[in-house]
Structure 1
Amino acid sequence: MKPMIRDFSLQALFMGLLTAFVGFASSFAVVLHGLTGVGATEAQAASGVMALSIAMGVCAIVLSVATRLPVSIAWSTPGAALLASSGILPGGFNVAVGGFVVCGVLIVAAGLWKPLGRMVAAIPAALANAMLAGVLIGLCFAPVKAVAFNPLLGLPIVLAWVIVGAINRLFAVPAALLAFALVLAFGIDMPTDALARVFGTLVPHAEWIVPSFTLAGLVSIALPLFVVTMASQNIPGIAVLKVNGYEPQPGPLFATTGIFSILSAPFGGHAVNLAAITAAMCAGEDAHRDPARRYWAAIVAGAGYIAFGLLAATVTAFVSLAPKILIEAVAGLALVGAFSGSAMAAFKEPESREAAAVTFLVTASGVSFAGISGAFWGLLSGGLMLVLARFTSRKK
């Protein structure tokens, strides 16, 4: 323990606190919208956010202490966007929770069983990114819809994101969230009993949701959530650590995040995983000049996530007082960067461009067949197009 204490620094403390704030504030709206999108009540969504925050905080602390690497953990933001587009399945939120549990089991299996990990890595990047872009585009329309809904309410949120983003992209979404809070406080008439309800949620409360396992939950929730989480978060998270000079063992890291995903699922949490964007904050020079001492930034960030999780019910109750389109607008702004990045990656290679387009269009349509969401069918359709294209090219 003494060597660990000597490694602590004020630089790591500051960067860890900043990481926790940015990680929570920039994607809280996406997670909340995703959970309610698959049928969670306000109390269940608050429980889910709390469970995820605590799970990723404890997971970050455990892994960073065990490996002495700056292992940043986050909730699956692309996965939450996927949930928002999936809709409520027959059986309600219990079926979605069953899908969360299965997703966690698959992540553990990918970490422990190398062939499964290789299968996930073998999914063409163009198709995975096209599916993600198709999932995100619906939410990315929300800021425009919010301005059309009420310019006095929607425009300040968008302008805060634009202006602050032009100065420092890192604080763009937190600024939009702050603008949302100000709009809610000063632009909307709230009854006294509603405010009393907000302050009455200061005590954290966990909701136990019994998982229900169905084929629709497996195919519509578990499998797409697993693919998106692995392809968009876990694998890039390993890449960020490697770029900063670390040599992590992917298997144990994946398996541990899967275990914490399983633990959070019955309380409404969809998935925790390696961070990608915020991972660079803890693993870079801003956390400390000495790479061997940067792991403290991830530990502090983990403690920050736990603190934010304990306030999740209050934040959720406050957000619920606003028109739904406003929180969707904040979520959409948080996903603009992810959408542009995934769309660019999806259509980068000419030989897979048509298959990626099919994946994107089927996923973005939001149409479900046989109770199974468009994300699965989009990936399947694009895969078949890619196989057909390669088969015909060989014949020539």
Structure 2
Amino acid sequence: MSHIRCSSPVAWRDLIHPVVAGLISVIINYGGTFILVFQAAKVAGLGPELTASWVWSISIGVGVSGIILSWITREPIITAWSTPAAAFLVTALASTPYAQAVGAYMISAAAFVLLGLSGCFERVIRLIPPGVAAGLLAGILLQFGIGAFAGMSVDPLLAGLLIVAYVLFKRFTARYAVVGILVLGLVFLLVQERVDLSGLTLTLAAPVFSGPEFSLNALLSVALPLFLITLTGQYMPGMLVLRNDGFKTSANPIVAVTGLGSLLMAPFGSHAFNIAAITAAICTGREAHEDPSKRWIAGVAAGVCYIVVGVFGVTLAAVFMALPATFIATLAGLALLGTIGASLASAMADSKTREASLITFLASASNITLLGIGGAFWGLLIGLVAYVLLNARLTQQAPVSASGPASINNGGH
């Protein structure tokens, strides 16, 4: 595990911003992408008990791993379930028996444990130029920034209120801008009675153990794609988010711990959890706290929220999913504005890598999907190829003398 940093004592006033940042990241995760888990469970034909167990296992696993990693490293290590993997499972589980899928989850998780222990992933991360990494992050987050304003055409009153309030908060009390729009938006929705909590009953989730089965078909059709999709779509951009905000914790313990957690929770339904990418940016930047040494609190806060949701299973997840899509999209986009701006500034700062960084940004923002692999991987690959081609040193030709080329005069070949 990476070295532990000593941080200054945490005052109560230091808790507000990172705790709210952690809460917002959790709300956006459940409100934005968790529907994929329910869709995959439905495709797999899982009943209420197994679905609740899936929610329990992934929420508890994400929460515990995030708390452990953030506490030990004193950095905001935000964990989450693999969203691209959940999207993949919506189709994959239609033709794979559930027991074999659980076996595939375990194989994929074990591969991540081995990857983390090998140390290979950290070496790969260090090879990526900072400008290209910043361009990748800006490209990934661009759609969320656009989404903050796209809601104006769907729900102009709600989106307009949040946008205007954000600008006013930024003008008069910048530190409380994100906190302000979260509270204001929730109050507005409750006053308008747009969040129906009347039928809500808190019920404890009960984990259900499902014995795994292993097959070559599930290995090739589920485990291998699950590993590659999670590696390229979650771990790679997630680590670059941390690096972009100046955090230096090694990727190796993060991959190993989340992989081990996924392995332990797989028999209860968890498909994969990992370091977060998009929602992590809410907790790693200045909006979480001006002092980077205090931002680890956001990781702990997010972990606690995940555990609370996991304990009550589907119930609280349903609450987050009941929030209007416009509210989730606008809140996410506004919370990420600072990170998007800082990433663009960092990507364009170095004139030598500016064009490669711009290409990375545009390729990532286009969200290319090929061979079942998402836009983060292809954006990074295209950006790295552009970086190499634009910055590689060309072999200089030897000067030609009056008697002919130097290579000939020297008997060269």
User: TM-score w.r.t. structure 2 length?
Assistant: 0.67
Three-state SS of the structure 2 residue aligned to 1:354 is helix
Q: Aligned to 2:125, which of 96, 110, 120? A: 120
- Structure 2 residue 233 is the aligned partner of structure 1 residue 224: yes
Deviation at 1:371, TM superposition (A): 3.1
Aligned to 1:195, the other structure's residue is in SS state coil
Letter of the 1:29 counterpart: I
Show the counterpart of 1:318: 319
Rounded Cα–Cα distance in structure 2 between residues aligned with 1:219 and 1:188: 43
Residues 253/328 of structure 1: CA separation in 2 closer, same or farther (3 Å cut): closer
Residues 6-85 of structure 1 mapped to structure 2, 5 A cutoff: 11=10, 15=14, 19-30=18-29, 32-36=31-35, 51=57, 54-59=60-65, 62=68, 70=74, 72-75=76-79
Give % identity.
26
The one-letter amino acid of 2:159's match is: G
The CA distance in 2 between the partners of 1:395 and 1:103, in whole Å, is: 47
User: 1:147, 1:369 → 2: CA distance?
Assistant: 31
Q: How far, CA to CA, are the matches of 1:97 and 1:70 in structure 2?
A: 33
The 2-side partners of 1:45 and 1:151 are apart by 35
CA distance in 1 between partners of 2:54 and 2:181 (Å): 23
Residue 163 of structure 1, aligned match among 168, 172, 179: 168
Rounded to whole Å, the distance in 2 between the matches of 1:29 and 1:297 is 14
Q: Tell me the C-alpha RMSD between the 2 structures.
A: 4.9
Deviation track 1:130-169 (CA, whole Å, cap 9, x = no partner) reads: 2222221112111211122122222222233333344555
CA distance in 1, matches of 2:136, 2:90: 20
Query: Which residue does 1:245 correspond to in 2?
Result: none
* Cα distance change on mapping 1:252 and 1:327 into 2, 3 Å: closer
> Which one of 264, 267, 270 corresponds to residue 267 of structure 1?
270
Equivalences for residues 274-293 of structure 1 within 5 A: 277=283
Deviations 1:10-67 (A, max 9, x none): 95677567644431224521454134468557999997776565335433554678x5
Distance of 1:236 and 1:374 partners within structure 2: 19
Extract unaligned runs of 5+ from structure 2.
Answer: 1-7, 43-47, 213-217, 398-413
- Tell which deviates more after alignment, 114-123 or 208-217: 208-217
Q: Partners in 1 of 2:388 and 2:192 — Cα distance? A: 54
The verdict on how the C-alpha distance between 1:157 and 1:92 changes in structure 2, with shifts beyond 3 A counting, is farther
Residue 271 of structure 1 aligns to a residue whose secondary structure is strand
Q: Tell me if structure 2 keeps the 8 A contact 1:254–1:273.
A: no
Matched, 1:359 2:360: yes
Instruction: Point out the structure with max Rg over C-alpha.
Output: 2
**1:219–1:306 Cα change, 3 Å:** closer
Equivalent position SS for 2:78:
strand
Counterparts of 1:103 and 1:345, CA distance in 2:
35
| Shift of residue 76, structure 1, vs aligned partner | 5.2
The 1:231/1:373 distance shift into structure 2, 3 A limit, reads: same
State the Cα distance separating 1:341 from its structure 2 match: 2.3
TM-aligned CA distance change 1:102 to 1:130, over 3 Å:
farther
Q: Which amino acid aligns with 1:345?
A: S
Alignment CA distance shift 1:92-1:254 (3 Å):
closer
- Contact 1:107–1:255 at 8 Å: present in 2 too? yes
Q: Distance in 2 between matches of 1:100 and 1:170?
A: 41
The corresponding residue for 2:388 is 387
Q: Distance in 1 between matches of 2:306 and 2:324?
A: 27
Question: C-alpha separation between the residues in 1 aligned to 2:315 and 2:54?
Answer: 13
Change beyond 3 A, Cα 1:316–1:302: closer
CA distance in 1, matches of 2:54, 2:182: 20
SS state at 1:343 partner = helix
Q: Is the 8 A contact 2:63 2:79 kept in 1?
A: no
